[in-house]
Structure 1
Amino acid sequence: MDQKIFDDLAHIRSMMERSSRFLSLSGLSGIGAGIVGLIAGCMAMYLTNDYFVDYDLYQQKVYQADMLFKLIVLGASALLLAIFCGCYFTVRKSKKLGLQIWTATTKKILVQLAIPLAVGGVFVLALLQYNLYGLVAGTTLIFYGLALVNAEKYTYSDIKYLGFLEIILGCLSLFFIGKGLIFWTIGFGVLHIIYGIILHRKYK
């Protein structure tokens, strides 16, 4: 009798968790996004190899229009590929677990992610307008980390640790002007892959 009560309570708890948290997030999504980020970061460093930022010597070079266009195209392509990976593996996991994708919880987590990302996007545009390229990578890491921490209450709690690491990495990069792409590649590439592997093993 006691065992039946415990089983019923566990079932109720599982149902409540499924209704209040987005549990379709796949570790493979993180791995896929990390690989995309790693490749994009390396390509960006290759493209900007002849450019440098040295505020101490007042030798900052301003990227030409064609270079900015290439970086924007690269960034947009990487973002679309990362979103595709996320959607593909998330849908696959949802079907496997028999969970719905578009729910009230999904809407909530998207809102929590969108607010910091939108504000960060505006801030990055302002940095680009004033040719403060050396701060862009760190800024994107910081606002992305804030978005993850903000969305943690609607999905796996593990995501907040990735968010904190992204914020720390972004803050550090602000003090190493000219090395931002290295921090960006570590944050969006390496950390995502590590997080994805951990998530996949823990919740597969």
Structure 2
Amino acid sequence: MHGRSARVHSADGTQAGRQAARWRGLDSRDQARRLPLPDLRDIGCKARREILYGIIKPNSRIQFSEAMPGDAEAIFYLADQAGLEGIVSKRADSKYRSGPTTNWLKIKSWTVDDFELMGVEGEPGKAAFALLAEPGTGKYVGSAFITLGRDVKERLWKRVQEHAGPPPEAMKKRSATQWVGPGVKLRIKHLPCVAAGFW
């Protein structure tokens, strides 16, 4: 979106749209005195974004994400290639409604990598998760919930017991962890992370 536009007047001719445009034209002290804010729920997403863009001041702590109109498949491909977690897409004309909706979708970009299993941690009544290390270095990289079917989970637990070992020196003691010696590898489906050192 470009400009801090008076286009809201024409983009949405509803009473709520006109109220929002008038409210946006006031300085922050007048805005504070004239609360409550206008109800914007019946304004389409595109017009709401224009209003929001006009309210957020430059260098604000609030970060305004620019819209990326275009082919969703192509945009998702670029986000995936950049190592981003995914994209959020919204229908341009959708009105705001609370609760479950198909007007906006979060599409995640998954990746699959091999890791060494350091141990399995679990407590009664809670989901178990695997402690994972970078292959070759044995460096701890994070954990993943174990979401396997019963048969595969039982086979994994058998391997954990067969390869039981002491905790790595670099790891803090964990009372609910069954540590595993070298040699057990897992293929993990996870979200990518652009921050160095995280996956």
Q: TM-score range by the shorter chain?
A: under 0.3
Which of 1 and 2 has higher RCO (CA within 8 Å, sep 6+)?
1
More strand, by proportion: 2
TM-score, normalised relative to structure 1: 0.21
Larger radius of gyration: 2
